[in-house]
Structures are given as C-alpha cells and as structure tokens.
A and B are shown apart, each in its own frame.
Chain A
Amino acid sequence: MSELTVDAGPPDAGLSKHLTPFNIITGIILAGGAVILGIRFTQGLSATTNLSHNYPWGLWIGFDVMSGVALAAGGFVTSTAVYVFGMKEYKPVVRAAILTGFLGYFLVVLGLLADLGRPWRLPYAFIKSAGPTSPLFEVALCVALYLTVLFIESTPAVLEWLGLKRWRKVVGSLTLGLTIFGLILSTMHQSTLGAMFMATPTKLHPLWYSPHIPVHYFVSAVAAGLAMVIVEGLFSHRAFHHQVEISRQHFENINFGLAKAASVTLGIYCAIKVVALTLEDEWHLLATGWGAWYLFEVIGFFLLPCALFAVAYRERKLLLVRVAAIITVLGIMLNRFNATFIVFNWKLPAAERYMPSWMEIWVTMAFITFAVVVFRWIANHMPIMYEHPDWKGDH
C-alpha cells in the first residue's frame, strides 16, 4: 500500500525561526539586565553599583539620563527643521529621528527607575510635594511633558499602520503645535540639565563649571541630536534598506545637510568654550593635568568633528561624516560623564574616585538593547522608513 507522506516540515519551525544570532545575543543581554535589576531591588544599590557618598551619581545618571537626553535631541532638531523652518528635504528622516527620540527618553525613564532610591515615588514631585526651586524639578516636568509630546508625535506611524484614518488626521494636525512645544521643552530641559551643576561650584572643576553651563549644554545637545540622526541613519539605512524609498542621492544629501549643521553647531560650541575660558580667566588652568583632560575632550571630541564635518561636507565624503558623527556622540557622553563623576569632586584623592561596576554597564547595555529591539520591531512593521501609500506626500 502506497502511503503519501506529506512533509510537514521541521517540527519546531516556529521556534528556530526566532533563534537568530541577533535575538540570542539581545536575549542574553536583556535577561542579564533583568536579573541585575532584581538584585538591585532586593539587595540595594550598593550590591549592584559602585555609587558612594562622594559620588552619588554614576553611570546610570551619567549615561542613561544625561547622555540619553542629549543624544535623543535629534527628534526636536529634525522636526523643527522640517515643520517650523519648512526644510522638507529632511522629511524622510523625521519619523526615525522622532522614534529614536522617544525611545531615548524612554530609556532615560528606565535609567531613572533603576537608579532612584524609591522610583515609585517619581510622581511625588507632581502630585504630592513639588519643589519648583529645583532645576531637577524643571527637568522632570519638561521630560515628562516632552515624553508625552514625542509619544504623540510617534503615533501617526502607528495609526497609519492600524488604518485609523480619522485619528491619524487629528494627530497630523497637531504636528506644528507639538513641534513648537517640543522645542520649548527641549530648550528648557537640555539647558537645565547643565544648570543642575550650577549648584556645585566648589565640586566641579572650574574648566567645566561656568555660569553659562546651560547654554553649553543646549548647544552640545543640538550637535548631539544631529550626530545621532546621522549615526542612527547609518544603521537603519542598512538594516531597513528594503523599505527605504528615497534615492541614494537624496539620502546622502540629507547626511551632508546634517553634517553642515553639525559643523556650524560644534563651531559655535567651541567658540562658547573659548569665551568661557576668557571670561572666567581660566587659560592658565589649561597647563594643569585637568587642563590636559579638558583639552582632550574639547579638541578631540568637539573641535575635531567640527573640522571633519566641514571637510566631509565640502568633499562630499559620507564615510567622514559618519566618523565625525560617532566622535561627536562619544564627545557628548564624555562631557556628561565628566560633569557627573569624572571631574566631579575633583579635589578628592584618586583613591576615592568612582568607576562604574560591570553590573551598571550591563544594565545600561540592556536598556540600549531594549530600545534597539523595540525600534527594530516598530520599523519593521510600521511606516517609519517609508511613507504609507495612503498618506504619501502628506505634510
């Protein structure tokens, strides 16, 4: 008797499809992060971090909060360019930038939830006892509002994906207002993150401390945002190549435009730094050890990419643009780390300094991985990298 054996395919087809290298690695990282956070909430911060009484803010604040907010600035920069200044040629990257911004700010909140002593009391500042004299209060309020703004600005893609046309129309009409509101909020909290250090004139080295820290932080945040859009474009253009509709030429033009803006911004930042050195009579401090570290940060990570961006724009070298963008991102991180725990309490002996523990680094990596995974899923399913056919050409 002949039997027809129908090949049912491999029995665990559904599971092995998901066991890609990417998923395995991210899975391990995320699982490890969850375990460490479990330790943090059962055994305290001392078991998982190297925080001390002299260094209460470490990697989770320095990277997740301070650098995270600065690097997520691409959202307001690009949306302001497109919707307020009418630079339509950058429209293709706005959605990705906004999504990066939203996930970046979400990462900030995650970092805070891990770092705060009692994170469930985060809403106390708004609902129980507000301390409006505190720069941190202003940051918290603006970040909370801005997260909402970014969330709403991210919903058009979701609504298009869900086919909810009426809602999509409503949200679309809010774009200009939200962008302006977002720029207001961003100006305030990006600069106030710097203003937080105005309370520590004796503990932050004079080269990093300035009465104009807020301006320094805002300008560097703009540069950070531009650089992050370039860096994020570098990865997503490759990962989602099949979705991208714009021509290679257009994509490169966008990058060069961002490079030009970044060069100008970094140039302004370096000029502000020179002014600060003169106004506060600090040139002689450059000859010290800390002065060398300062020059390393400003020249190597702000002046250098400024020049690289300018050269890359003129010579139309995309690789150079990307290199400069990565250097800028590292520079922002270094600048924030310096203020938070490297140059902070600089008068203390070296033995009492803070170094992040491996668990802090792992959790930070886990948060970043989480954001990357979410971004990837959203970009794969929703119109981020391309325009939904029903809404093509829509402003």
Chain B
Amino acid sequence: MSISRRGFIGGAAAAALATGTAEAGTVKKFEGYPGRYGLLHDTTLCVGCRSCEVACKEVNGLTPVEAPVGDTEIFDAVRRTTDTSLTVVNRYLEADNDQPAVYRKLQCMHCNEPCCATVCLVQAFEKTPEGPVLYHPELCMGCRYCVMACPYNALAYEYDDPLTPKVMRCTMCYDRIKEGLLPGCAEACPMGAITFGGREELIEIARERIRKFPDRYINHIFGEHEFGGTSWLLLSGVEFGKLDLEEGLTSEPLPAIATSYLGVVPLVVTIYPGLLMGMHAFSKRQQAVAKKEREEAVAQTLEAAEEATQKKLAAAADRAAKDKARAVDTAVKKALAEAEQGGES
C-alpha cells in the first residue's frame, strides 16, 4: 500500500487532532460501561449446598463434582478454583450455638478494571461492555502472568495438557447472558444467594438489605470499590477478613498500580541517547585533552633537549676552532724557528 507524502502528513495531522481533542486522561474517570451486569452474592443466604458448583460444571462441560451436594466433609479443607472447577464454595466458619455456618462462593470476580487483561502481553483478555471479562485461548501463549497477577487467586491453568493448555476461569456464562439467560450458578442457587442483574441495581439492593437488617450484615459491599470495583458484589454477616477476602483494599484500579512504572519507558528511550552520547563525548574529550597535554609535554621536553644539544655543539665547535688556531699558531712558530736555525749554519 503506497501512501503519498501529502496523504501521510494529512493523516498524521488528523491523528494529532484526534488525540488533541481527547480529554486529558488524568482528570476524567471512566465509570465503566453503563448497564453492565453483575452478581450479588449474599453470604448470609448461602447454605453450602454447592448447587452452583454442579451447575457450573454442567454448563461448561467439565468433570463432575467429586463430592455430591450435601456432603459436608468436602468443607474440611479450604479449596480454590482449579482448571476443572471454575467455582468452589468454602466453609469459613463452622456452625456454633449462636450462628449457622458461614460459606462463600469463589470464582473470577470479573473486575471493572481487570489486572489480568492489563498484564497479558497478547491481550488475550477482553472486558466486555456487558460486564464479563472474556479470555481468548486462541491468542494465549501460556506465560501465566495473569495467574500471578489476579488478586483473588481466581485463575487456574491446565498444567496437564502438553500442547493446548488454557487458562481456566469463570466466564460469567457470557453466551448464556447474551441469549438473555441467567449464568448457571445464579439459576441453580435455591436460596437466591446469587442474584444476577445490572450492577448498579444490585448495589441498590445490597444497600437496601443492609438498611433493613443492620444487625445481619456488615455495613460494606465488597467489590463496590475494591481495586476499582468488581462485577461480583458480596454481602456478609461476618468481617470479610474471615472469608479470606482482604479488607481495606484501595479503590485505585490494580492495573494503574501495575503499570505506573511504564511511564518511564519513553523517557528512558528519549533521554538516554543524548545523555550517554554526552558522557561518551565527555570521556573522549577527557582522553583527547590528556593526549594533547601529553604531547605538549613531550614536545617541550624535546625542544629543551634540542636547545641544549645545539648549545653543546656550538661550544664544542668553538673549542675545536680555538684548538685548531692554537695548533696552527704553534706549527707556524715551529716552522719559523726551524727556518731561522737552518739559515745560520
């Protein structure tokens, strides 16, 4: 494709204009796609039946649950999501005289600003306007940076697969949502501990529940603001720390924290060449100056030596001439004396 000079400049100008009219990024805040979906998980309603796990496996075609619904031994250990279990329910507090047992369902939180998407070097994650974060296995090279970065430890990887391993995580049943159906877990939950709907509406519902039953709930909706907010919102009757969720998380989006340093890169690229060339020139100058001083010193020494030599030569020539004159004198005197002596006899 050839492009004329005029076209190139025109295009560049158009691009500059476009970026110029865009808002300064630091002042405005993108609140997220309006009308996006979310899920409200009310842990006070969860009874640990794990119907959501069963439904999730069915919907996604994964290996069935090891322990059937109603099995309580499975709760003895705290589990995490794996490559074949995209969601698990854990029991965090056992039932005692006053309180029933406390459970929580774990899965990908479908963050408003997903860090997995930011750290993926092939952009294999996509935050959809509907809310779910999608994963594109056809791009993934398996570096597992997303698994490292996820603050909720929600992602898993298919280490058993030698040639086509994928990252495995909850998809919020994106295809079902697009058809107007409920996600598998939301449909299955008999107690309505999972409510699917618009995220804004769910926040209102959550606030209303807290207002109506202040003794039942901790006055906080987890996921409303944490790390920029998540699509999964949680209500709890016990401190969120007891549910293995970190309390007091910043509302700053995790991607912003993760990439704050990258702003330095263009600076390095633009400043270093000049700086280093300057240093190089400086060092070369130092060497050149040193060389020049050395040469001057040598030249001076040579000159002085030359002068001294000339003086010595002149003095020697002088002495030689004087010696010669004296020798001539002596010879002449001797010759005259001999001549006189010869005349008398």
On whether the two chains bind one another, the answer is yes
Q: Known: A84-B276, A134-B121, A345-B153. Contact between A188 and B268, CB under 8 A?
A: yes
Q: Known: A56-B157, A116-B141, A118-B142. Contact between A137 and B81, CB under 8 A?
A: no
- A56 close to B148 (CB less than 8 A): yes
A180 to B269, CA, bound (A): 10
- B162 close to A136 (CB less than 8 A): no
Q: Known: A53-B83, A86-B284, A191-B261. Contact between A131 and B121, CB under 8 A?
A: yes
- CB under 8 Å from chain B, chain A span 185-244: 187-188, 191-192, 195-196, 198-203, 211, 214
- CB under 8 Å from chain B, chain A span 9-42: 40-42
Chain A residues bordering chain B, tally (CB within 8 A): 59
Q: Give chain B's interface residues, CB within 8 Å of chain A.
A: 80-83, 115, 117-124, 139-145, 147-149, 151, 153, 155-166, 246, 249, 254-255, 257-262, 264-265, 268-269, 272-273, 276-277, 279-280, 283-284, 286-287
Q: Known: A56-B147, A199-B148. Contact between A44 and B272, CB under 8 A?
A: no
**Distance to closest chain A CB from B165 (angstroms):** 4
- Given A198-B259, A200-B151, A202-B246, output 15 extra A-B contacts at Cβ < 8 Å: A44-B158, A44-B160, A53-B147, A53-B155, A83-B280, A86-B284, A117-B158, A118-B140, A121-B141, A137-B121, A138-B265, A183-B276, A195-B262, A196-B145, A344-B148
**Distance to closest chain A CB from B92 (angstroms):** 14
Chain A residues with CB under 8 Å of B149's CB are 199-200
Whether, in the assembled complex, A278 has its beta carbon less than 8 Å from a beta carbon of chain B, the answer is: no
- A195 close to B160 (CB less than 8 A): no
**Distance to closest chain B CB from A237 (angstroms):** 27
Q: Known: A85-B283, A86-B280, A211-B260. Contact between A118 and B265, CB under 8 A?
A: no
Chain A residues with CB under 8 Å of B83's CB are 53
Chain A residues with CB under 8 Å of B260's CB are 198, 211
Interchain CB contact (< 8 A) of B257 among A85, A140, A180, A201:
A201
Counting chain A CB atoms within 10 Å of each CB, the highest count among B143, B162, B165, B166 belongs to B143
Write the A32-61 contact mask toward B (1 if CB under 8 angstroms, else 0): 000000001111111101011110110000
* Least CB separation from A201: chain B residue: B257
Whether, in the assembled complex, A129 has its beta carbon less than 8 Å from a beta carbon of chain B, the answer is: yes
Whether, in the assembled complex, A164 has its beta carbon less than 8 Å from a beta carbon of chain B, the answer is: no
Whether, in the assembled complex, A286 has its beta carbon less than 8 Å from a beta carbon of chain B, the answer is: no
A361 to B128, CA, bound (A): 41
- B265 close to A202 (CB less than 8 A): no
- B277 close to A180 (CB less than 8 A): yes
A43 to B81, CA, bound (A): 22
Q: Known: A136-B121, A140-B121. Contact between A86 and B80, CB under 8 A?
A: no
- B162 close to A124 (CB less than 8 A): no
Chain B residues with CB under 8 Å of A52's CB are 159
**Distance to closest chain A CB from B230 (angstroms):** 14
A56 to B143, CA, bound (A): 9
Q: Known: A196-B145, A199-B258. Contact between A44 and B140, CB under 8 A?
A: no
* Least CB separation from B142: chain A residue: A117
Whether, in the assembled complex, A355 has its beta carbon less than 8 Å from a beta carbon of chain B, the answer is: no
Chain A residues with CB under 8 Å of B158's CB are 44, 117
- A184 close to B268 (CB less than 8 A): yes
Whether, in the assembled complex, A125 has its beta carbon less than 8 Å from a beta carbon of chain B, the answer is: yes
- A49 close to B159 (CB less than 8 A): yes
Chain B residues with CB under 8 Å of A198's CB are 257-261
- A199 close to B140 (CB less than 8 A): no
* Least CB separation from A187: chain B residue: B268
Chain B residues with CB under 8 Å of A53's CB are 80-83, 147, 153, 155-157
A116 to B148, CA, bound (A): 14
**Distance to closest chain A CB from B277 (angstroms):** 7
Interchain CB contact (< 8 A) of A203 among B118, B144, B151:
B151
A51 to B83, CA, bound (A): 13
A118 to B145, CA, bound (A): 14
- B151 close to A44 (CB less than 8 A): no
A329 to B100, CA, bound (A): 54
Q: Known: A53-B147, A54-B80, A180-B272. Contact between A125 and B165, CB under 8 A?
A: no
Q: Known: A53-B157, A86-B287. Contact between A117 and B144, CB under 8 A?
A: yes
Whether, in the assembled complex, A128 has its beta carbon less than 8 Å from a beta carbon of chain B, the answer is: yes
- CB under 8 Å from chain B, chain A span 71-88: 80, 83-86
* Least CB separation from B260: chain A residue: A198
Chain A residues with CB under 8 Å of B277's CB are 180
Chain A residues with CB under 8 Å of B280's CB are 83-86, 176, 180
- A117 close to B283 (CB less than 8 A): no
Q: Known: A45-B165, A130-B122, A133-B255. Contact between A116 and B160, CB under 8 A?
A: no
Whether, in the assembled complex, A275 has its beta carbon less than 8 Å from a beta carbon of chain B, the answer is: no
Chain A residues with CB under 8 Å of B262's CB are 133, 135, 138, 192, 195
Chain B residues with CB under 8 Å of A180's CB are 272-273, 276-277, 280
